[in-house]
Structure 1
């Protein structure tokens, strides 16, 4: 028997690598199909939007709070809520100040267009006493189906 022939004999390497690759492809394909069959693929598409908001409180006689969308994803105003506590005139008992109402550049209210960078909502204009200085407020994203929600931003007043 020739030892050199045993060292250079690599006929079995190619079929073994082929079988390993076929098994790996089968496992990956099965995992992808299973994720969509079980509904995991739908959950990946319903991601929470990424957006940043700033808060500007005006004390004194105004006592108003302006919330501005600074940047990030655009969001439907039907899926964006402002919720808070210690805002007796702003809430309806459950701490919900309501859906986002954008203020356009000309001062008119616009609740149909997307909330994008530069859009703002102002609390305290319609209330008798305005927004108290010990407020706690959150900007909440909630899907229209109501199956998921997330707090995008939050702020507290200077006396909270």
Structure 2
């Protein structure tokens, strides 16, 4: 009993001594702190590995632990920006590949491939470009029905021919 009382008294004194900084945390506060810190650290690790989706998940977990935390909010905004930037870059790369294939197919008079490629490009287009592609697609129907240059068809888009 004597040792427990002394230890309890010393701990009590440590919490009330003037001039001392006391970090009196409950277990729940410590767990929240650990969960926040762990989530933020994981987020930074994944962000450095360019795994922005996983980083975003972890930064959102950190924000759940500390709502309105400026660091977590900024990290989330950054990850959302990087994800959107990469998504748009991937779309642009796909469009560039399709346009290159379209040009090659038109040069070689592979009208089946031209038509298929236009069909793939239309969902990416907007406004006047979409109207232009749709009109071009309508013209291609006539070419396909006339079977013009049939000997060149399906050479560019064949499975054996890799995309450009």
TM-score exceeds 0.5: no
Q: Say which structure is richer in strand.
A: 1
The TM-score normalised by the length of structure 2 is 0.31
> Higher helix share goes to which structure?
2
Q: TM-score, normalised by structure 1?
A: 0.32
Quick one: higher RCO (CA 8 Å, sep 6+), 1 or 2?
Answer: 1
